Amino acid sequence: MARRPGRPRANAEQATGRGTAQDLLDAAAALFCTVGYTSTSTYAIAERAGVRQASMYHHFAGKHAILHELLLGTVRPSLRNAELLARIDAGVPARLWALAAADVELLCAPRDNLGALYFLPELSDERFAPFRALHLALRAGYADLVGQYPGVRGEDVGELSSLAIGLVESVILRRREEPDLRADDVAPRVADAVQRLLGATPAGLAAVRAEGLALRATLPDLGVARFPQNRAARPEN
């Protein structure tokens, strides 16, 4: 495969129509998930994005800032969904179904398996504290719904919400072993599994799923719009 040289761009917005910052994020995501975070240089990111290194520093303070932005993108939309669903007049099980389904879609949607970056040892660095705080806030959003779920006892809320998030985020490892995993196929199955975990009966689950699907349709498609899966390769222009 020929290497494309880094090249200055008179009009950055023309390259993919998505903007320089997004092109840098896409390039970094691909490199972090294949070559690895440590082995990826800022030069390699800029080159792959077709951006000069100097332009890159106009958008990001460094490689860590690009990683941080990628990580935030895997949580922010779900946190927003949790906030929206907390205000909606609907049953708790259906709201939890919609939250879990949309969260799985977000983790499955990007071409690169960004959730794998959660396991980098670098994330214990203070610079990634905002991401860790956002992830804990998402856990709290799950715990809020689990705590109101019919039949769940107060002392089990922490454990059950950890297990519910565990089911959702298990798609990160599945994407490694099942590369053909489809978001629209796996998301409702995982959302169903969360309900069974919390004690839903088969009869009750069918009704929750129908209501949850309807709620899911009212949520913004933040993740999938931002990270189109299997999009056409960027033209070599």
Q: Please, which residue, 37 or 97, has the CB nearer to a second copy? A: 37
What minimum distance in Å lies between the beta carbon of 92 and a second copy?
18
Structure tokens at 13: 């917005």
Structure tokens at 62: 């460094």
Q: Please, which residue, 52 or 139, has the CB nearer to a second copy? A: 139
Q: Which of residues 138-177 bind a second copy (CB under 8 A)?
A: 139, 159, 162-163, 165-167, 169-174, 176-177
Residues 78, 223: Cα–Cα separation, whole Å? 8
30 burial class (0-12, 13-18, 19+ CB within 10 angstroms)?
middle
Q: Please, which residue, 15 or 99, has the CB nearer to a second copy? A: 99
Q: Which of residues 201-230 bind a second copy (CB under 8 A)?
A: 202
Structure tokens at 160: 């059950």
Largest Cα separation within the chain, whole Å, is: 61
Residues 177, 140: Cα–Cα separation, whole Å? 29
Q: Does 64 bind a second copy (CB under 8 A)?
A: no
What minimum distance in Å lies between the beta carbon of 164 and a second copy?
9
What minimum distance in Å lies between the beta carbon of 15 and a second copy?
26
Contact 108, 99 (CB under 8 A): no
Q: Please, which residue, 85 or 171, has the CB nearer to a second copy? A: 171
Q: Does 16 bind a second copy (CB under 8 A)?
A: no
Q: Does 135 bind a second copy (CB under 8 A)?
A: yes
Q: Please, which residue, 37 or 60, has the CB nearer to a second copy? A: 37
Place of tokens 């705590």: 147
How many residues are recorded in the chain?
Answer: 237
Q: Does 41 bind a second copy (CB under 8 A)?
A: no
Q: Does 196 bind a second copy (CB under 8 A)?
A: yes
Q: Which of residues 18-37 bind a second copy (CB under 8 A)?
A: 33-37
| Short-list 89, 51, 101, 67, CA closest to 209 | 101
Q: Please, which residue, 65 or 116, has the CB nearer to a second copy? A: 116
CA distances from 95 to 107, 110, 135, 185, 195 (A): 19, 24, 19, 19, 11
Region of residue 86 (phi > 0: left; psi between -120 and 50: alpha; otherwise: beta): alpha
Q: Does 108 bind a second copy (CB under 8 A)?
A: no
Footprint of a second copy (CB under 8 A): 33-39, 116-123, 132, 135-136, 139, 159, 162-163, 165-167, 169-174, 176-178, 189-190, 193, 196-199, 202
